[in-house]
Amino acid sequence: MSATTPRIAVLGSGAGSNFVAVANAIAAGTLDATVVLVVSDYSNAGILKHAADRDLPHVFLDPGPNPNRFADEAQIELARLLREARADAIVCAGFMRVLKAPMLTEWAGRIINIHPSLLPQFRGRDAISQALAAGIPVTGCTVHLVTEEIDSGEILAQSEVPLLAGDTKETLTPRINAAERALYPSALQKWLHSPGSRNSE
């Protein structure tokens, strides 16, 4: 990353609540970063509307014909878009596709994600249901680096969320989402401005 304000691109598949938290932190001055591009694999995703409302560059990227796979052509196009935007770091905010080359090679160590569990517990999809099924007293969320192995990169920050008696996915999810929105901007600020995280361009 450069020595100036980091240029971040945000990837998301859904409503964009974590993106809004990041954008609000930037506007409030608590996160020193510039959003240079927002990308979604769904044309009607709320994250794209939030980006448009903020006059931020945004684009729908066709993920390919298989709903469960991020096509190789899409990976290549995503890398091109991020290269063109001169992104220093990639922020995954509810992006439900698995990244691989060339993304993981060109931006190795510069892709960050937030996951709704206390990793290494409950990797992969539907971590909240996994936590409920396990009957544990505490779950939460984790900010981590993205690597080839899903949800297995270096852990950067975590926030705990207690499970309450009678919790369901519908009652627990909003509390974890709130913890994510509180944790992600502060973890991003620390990571983006840590000398160890900077890869010279």
Catalytically active residues are 115
| Spatial distance between the Cα atoms of 45 and 94, rounded to a whole number of angstroms | 11
| Spatial distance between the Cα atoms of 6 and 46, rounded to a whole number of angstroms | 24
Q: Scanning the structure block, which residue is given the tokens 């770091």?
A: 89
Phi and psi dihedrals of 166, rounded to 5? 80, 5
| Spatial distance between the Cα atoms of 173 and 139, rounded to a whole number of angstroms | 11
| Spatial distance between the Cα atoms of 162 and 179, rounded to a whole number of angstroms | 11
